[in-house]
Structure 1
Amino acid sequence: MDSDLRLLADKAKSWPFEEAKRILHRIGHKTPAKGFVLFETGYGPSGLPHIGTFGEVMRTTMVRRAFQILSDIPTRLFCFSDDMDGLRKVPDNVPNQEMLRQYLNKPLTQVPDPFEQYESFGHHNNAMLRRFLDSFGFEYEFQSSTDWYKSGRFDEYLKLVLTHYDEVMAVMLPSLREERRQSYSPFLPICPTTGRVLQVPIVSRDIEAATITYRDDASGELIEIPVTGGHCKLQWKADWGMRWRAFDVDYEMSGKDLIDSVKLSTQICRIIGGRPPENFTYELFLDEQGQKISKSKGNGLTIDEWLTYAPDVSLAYYMFQAPRKAKRLYFDVIPRHMDDYLTYLSKFDEQELVQKVDNPIWHIHNGNPPKAESSLSFSILLNLASVCNAEDPSILWGFVTRYQPDATPEKLPFLDKLIKHAIAYYHDRVLPEKEYREPTEMEKKALADLRTRLEQLAATATAEEIQTVVYDVGKNHPFSELKAWFSCLYEVLLGQSEGPRMGSFIELYGIPETISLIQSKL
């Protein structure tokens, strides 16, 4: 690693570098005994993966990359799926729900795939997560809870939990409601006859034989079962702490809603002789109504929905920004984050290296971003598609080539991708809500004035010159504030409540075309 870059990165203030420094402090700047620093992300595949799942891997990867700049110590990233967990409820957003109800409480890797594509529901949801992580180019090692339990690789650590059973119970019981305390055990037996994950009281345990005994609800019979070999799994908080011990995890993120769980799992990890990882708590993702997004409810956006309307870099930028602040996750955030990404990209080449390492673009592209292809924003393209009622990218390219004569889809593939996304967003998200209004008499006079002023401009007028004219017209008419003038332009000319910077838009759309558009509204 370049020594100058490492020195600058050590002074960087962006949150991934701050987190990487915490990890270095944790290990004393020395390679751990296992030979590498281990990052982990966890995933419960009880429903379809949502963007929050992706975000955890994206953000953890950003910290890992920052660490790799600061240190030559090897790193690994485990993406762990708790796919041996029982199916507790049927998600709202999947087919064959009646079929799934027959498999409640069975391990997710034993529940048939309602989509009829994979060997189980757990395998289906794991595959969906991996597909996107692979397409984004993440470097990770996928780990399955079912594989670890059934292969016996967790056995040593399950025995430790059994040995320290009373101490683990002392940690967990105060956190539970009275009713739950009566049946709680860190071990969940897998019923030998039904295959279901049971939440039953443990009658006795044999540390030497590594078994537990519970009473069967149906028959009243006492059942003795090994805690090893996949015959039991741990309640997830105990499982989390056990896993930190088994893997010797150095760093893991989790949402604000898991703060108490982190504390309990930390205690359990220490009880069985482990050192809990450095933890980073991020704020929750919210839907348009401000409710927490949920895999089972299917509110918020899916990964595929976001990528229908914008490139993946916009999603990466969304994840980078202020992870300790709650974020709304719905369709309207997409254009803004796409434009913010483009703004930071345009600045990148002009910045000194000390500024570049704190630019979000550095973390999105691991220090090696592409060149900015055009100064056109996504919002401008979106509004151009709206005015033209564009269904075909060639329509927008016709305007772009007037603005940027040597531009072609082959020369500017990212711009071509933006144009296609803008048309998709317009068609699906803008057109159904489009609602033009008639201008008032005062607004008609202002629009006529703007038409006249535009007619006096040269065809080659710049965006700034046009913007000055637009401002002057607004000031010369009795609008309560300039914002009301721009609202008039958006609502009358574009049929929407918000819109672009008019100077830039008119430059791209064309002065004669804008004059005709105004005339059509008068």
Structure 2
Amino acid sequence: MEKESLFWADQVAKEVVGSWKVGHYRTEMGIGASGIPHVGSAGDAVRSYVVSLGIKELGKKSELIAFSDDRDGLRKVPSGFPSSLEKEIGKPVSTITDPFGCHKSFALHVSSLLLDAFEKIGISFTLRRGNEEYRKGTFDKEVVEILTKWKKAGEIIKRVTGSEKFLSQLPFLPVCKSCGRVYTTRATGFDAAHKKIAYVCDQEFAGKSKGRDVLIKGCGFQGDAGIREGKLAWKVEFAARWRALDIHYEAYGKDILESVKCNDAICKEILGREPPVHSFYELFTERGGEKLSKSKGNVFTPQMWMRVASPESLRLLFLKRLGTTRVVDLDSIPALMDEVDELGGVYFGDMKIKNERELAHKKRLFEYVHFLQMPEKCGFTVPYQNLVNLVASLPIKEKDAIVQETLKVGKDEEGELKKRVAYATKWAGREKPPQVKIQLDKGEKKALMQLSEVLKKPLSGDEVQNVIFNIAKERGLKPSHFFRLLYKIIIGIDKGPRAGKLITILGREKVRQLIWKRI
């Protein structure tokens, strides 16, 4: 970068490097392991990954840690999962058997979906699993320090959140040795000499299954647990993770703002370490304004996005306007696909922007959308909705050839064309493309009626081409105008391959029906 970049990821990378003088920097994101990951779940990974890339551009070593929260308990049975999971509510998801039998645990089944999405998006990461890290003692030192100072931790939590819960109990959730649950236990004391936590399983909470509440009660067991036989409460766990794993950056959303503020204070005041640099982002919502949810039946996943659009368009969704609440669904895709193309036009100089700051921002955004692995040229572009309209009308066998001829795509761009046609075809299959509005005057209507009559005859493609040209001349229409009108009626855009060839491929009768719908 010739000048200092004002792009948010570069500014964060600079802040991280300025805050710590270390040989290796780590950014982090958490992986929820209790429900089907929605498209927003991949956002933390993309944001943390580009900050890691920004740190590398400053000449430093950096990696992204993806941390699976798989010692968390199950609170809800996700839609689409068997109701037999109700009996597992409250237990750590890493101890619950995968109901589908394809993974060793429920946690591995769920987290594998998000990890698969990361790979498809192109994110490089190091995976750490909470259950394994607790079991092998990664957090031993942090757990002991926090539990030794649990009263101070409780005061900090009250100061930040107003909650008095941890003034009378330790911020640790032992796994009950009797019922196996983690959310029904209450830690009552800590024996620092023997590293044992006294607890009673007497709490209750409302879990959920198929939209109804499921009351989960503790079994009444009393006993003690080792520091590796449970988990820290969320209000202190991030802090332990940040110090133990040496984390220097983590983004967070509005939904965990309070927890992050608590953990920042715990990290500094109890663990004696500065908290990592953060980026705050607003949450994505559904079109009705409701927050995206992992436990609802209509989860919109990253994989669903990438069936109908490029990974770059999904990266763009996460990298622009962090502080703005935005609707995200399949209808968001055309604009983002087109915006990636527009950014490419700016980057390669095909689109001119006079404002230098805006130009620099768009060029840097395009670089991060490509994870700094830049294409050699802009390549061909076509508005996504136009491509959807085009492929929706074409027979499968001839689709690629007709689109290639319509868009005048060169041999070197055939691969990109096929990908885009595949995206648009899947999109077109989910709903009817919007009908292009066409207003016809009397002369145009008569010309179309005449063409419809002629198309009753078994004509070749060349013969149809000549008929269209001659009808236009007879009716006093410009042939170029009449051809554009036909393309709009047949495929929804104002250009295409030779009209005669297109009509014979689609079928004369089908084209006659399309014409009569407009007359």
* TM-score > 0.5, shorter chain as reference: yes
Name the residue aligned to 1:373: 379
Name the residue aligned to 1:273: 272
Pick closer, same or farther for the CA change 1:275–1:114 going to 2, 3 Å. Answer: same
Deviation at 1:347, TM superposition (A): 3.0
Name the residue aligned to 1:37: 25
Name the residue aligned to 1:473: none
1:398 aligned onto 2:402? yes
Deviation at 1:214, TM superposition (A): 2.0
Pick closer, same or farther for the CA change 1:356–1:413 going to 2, 3 Å. Answer: farther
Q: TM-score, normalised by structure 1?
A: 0.79
Equivalent of residue 86 in structure 1, options 69, 73, 78: 73
Pick closer, same or farther for the CA change 1:450–1:234 going to 2, 3 Å. Answer: farther
Pick closer, same or farther for the CA change 1:86–1:375 going to 2, 3 Å. Answer: closer
- Distance of 1:199 and 1:163 partners within structure 2: 22
- Distance of 1:391 and 1:238 partners within structure 2: 59
- Distance of 1:381 and 1:446 partners within structure 2: 29
Deviation at 1:397, TM superposition (A): 2.6
Deviation at 1:62, TM superposition (A): 1.5
1:46 aligned onto 2:52? no
- Distance of 2:246 and 2:340 partners within structure 1: 36
SS of 1:254 mapped into structure 2: strand
- Distance of 1:322 and 1:447 partners within structure 2: 47
Please list, as runs of the form range in 1=range in 2, the aligned pairs for 1:362-511 lying within 5 A after superposition: 362-370=367-375, 371-386=377-392, 388=393, 390-392=394-396, 394-404=398-408, 407-408=410-411, 411-430=413-432, 445=442, 448=445, 456-457=477-478, 459=480, 493=489, 505-508=493-496
Name the residue aligned to 2:225: 225
Please list, as runs of the form range in 1=range in 2, the aligned pairs for 1:239-254 lying within 5 A after superposition: 239-254=237-252
- Distance of 2:387 and 2:336 partners within structure 1: 14
- Distance of 2:18 and 2:131 partners within structure 1: 34
The RMSD of aligned alpha carbons is: 3.4
| CA shift digits 1:321-357 (9 cap, x unpaired) | 2121112111111111111112222332227999567
Pick closer, same or farther for the CA change 1:46–1:220 going to 2, 3 Å. Answer: closer
- Distance of 1:96 and 1:220 partners within structure 2: 28
Equivalent of residue 75 in structure 1, options 58, 62, 65: 62
Name the residue aligned to 1:14: 7
- Distance of 2:400 and 2:518 partners within structure 1: 22
Equivalent of residue 122 in structure 2, options 137, 157, 161: 137
- Distance of 1:106 and 1:328 partners within structure 2: 33
Letter in structure 1 aligned against 2:401: W
Deviation at 1:421, TM superposition (A): 1.3
SS of 1:127 mapped into structure 2: helix
SS of 2:37 mapped into structure 1: coil
SS of 2:247 mapped into structure 1: coil
| CA shift digits 1:412-462 (9 cap, x unpaired) | 21111101111111111226xx6799x8xx865596499769974455x8x
SS of 1:118 mapped into structure 2: coil
SS of 2:223 mapped into structure 1: strand
Task: Check whether the contact 1:183–1:200 (CA below 8 A) recurs between aligned residues.
Answer: no
Name the residue aligned to 1:55: 43
1:65 aligned onto 2:53? yes
Pick closer, same or farther for the CA change 1:494–1:40 going to 2, 3 Å. Answer: farther
Pick closer, same or farther for the CA change 1:221–1:334 going to 2, 3 Å. Answer: closer
Name the residue aligned to 2:506: none
Pick closer, same or farther for the CA change 1:444–1:23 going to 2, 3 Å. Answer: same
More displaced 10-residue stretch of structure 1: 155-164 or 368-377: 368-377
Name the residue aligned to 2:454: none
Deviation at 1:317, TM superposition (A): 1.7
Deviation at 1:104, TM superposition (A): 1.2
Name the % identity.
25
SS of 1:119 mapped into structure 2: coil
SS of 1:400 mapped into structure 2: helix
Name the residue aligned to 1:486: none
Name the residue aligned to 1:169: 154
- Distance of 2:476 and 2:46 partners within structure 1: 50
Task: Check whether the contact 2:29–2:66 (CA below 8 A) recurs between aligned residues.
Answer: yes
SS of 1:412 mapped into structure 2: helix
- Distance of 1:407 and 1:40 partners within structure 2: 42
Deviation at 1:310, TM superposition (A): 1.3
Task: Check whether the contact 1:356–1:362 (CA below 8 A) recurs between aligned residues.
Answer: no
1:154 aligned onto 2:149? no
Task: Check whether the contact 1:38–1:248 (CA below 8 A) recurs between aligned residues.
Answer: yes
Pick closer, same or farther for the CA change 1:289–1:183 going to 2, 3 Å. Answer: farther
Q: Which runs of 5+ in 1 are unaligned?
A: 471-488
Deviation at 1:142, TM superposition (A): 0.4
Deviation at 1:520, TM superposition (A): 5.5
Aligned residues: 462
Task: Check whether the contact 2:346–2:362 (CA below 8 A) recurs between aligned residues.
Answer: no
Name the residue aligned to 1:23: 16
Letter in structure 2 aligned against 1:316: R
SS of 2:56 mapped into structure 1: helix
Letter in structure 2 aligned against 1:161: I
SS of 2:128 mapped into structure 1: strand
Deviation at 1:225, TM superposition (A): 2.1
| CA shift digits 1:15-72 (9 cap, x unpaired) | 2222222223323xxx32xx21110111221101221121111121122212222x11
Name the residue aligned to 1:483: none
Name the residue aligned to 2:284: 285
Name the residue aligned to 1:482: none
| CA shift digits 1:215-250 (9 cap, x unpaired) | 354786641222x2x212111221111111212211
Name the residue aligned to 2:507: none
- Distance of 2:317 and 2:337 partners within structure 1: 9
SS of 1:209 mapped into structure 2: coil
| CA shift digits 1:109-150 (9 cap, x unpaired) | 111112221010101122222222223332210010001100
Task: Check whether the contact 2:28–2:67 (CA below 8 A) recurs between aligned residues.
Answer: yes
Pick closer, same or farther for the CA change 1:368–1:88 going to 2, 3 Å. Answer: closer
Pick closer, same or farther for the CA change 1:203–1:411 going to 2, 3 Å. Answer: closer
Task: Check whether the contact 2:29–2:48 (CA below 8 A) recurs between aligned residues.
Answer: yes
Task: Check whether the contact 1:13–1:358 (CA below 8 A) recurs between aligned residues.
Answer: no
- Distance of 1:189 and 1:403 partners within structure 2: 63
1:264 aligned onto 2:262? yes
Task: Check whether the contact 2:170–2:189 (CA below 8 A) recurs between aligned residues.
Answer: no
| CA shift digits 1:179-201 (9 cap, x unpaired) | x5687531101111222214433
Name the residue aligned to 1:316: 315
Letter in structure 2 aligned against 1:164: K
- Distance of 2:369 and 2:418 partners within structure 1: 21
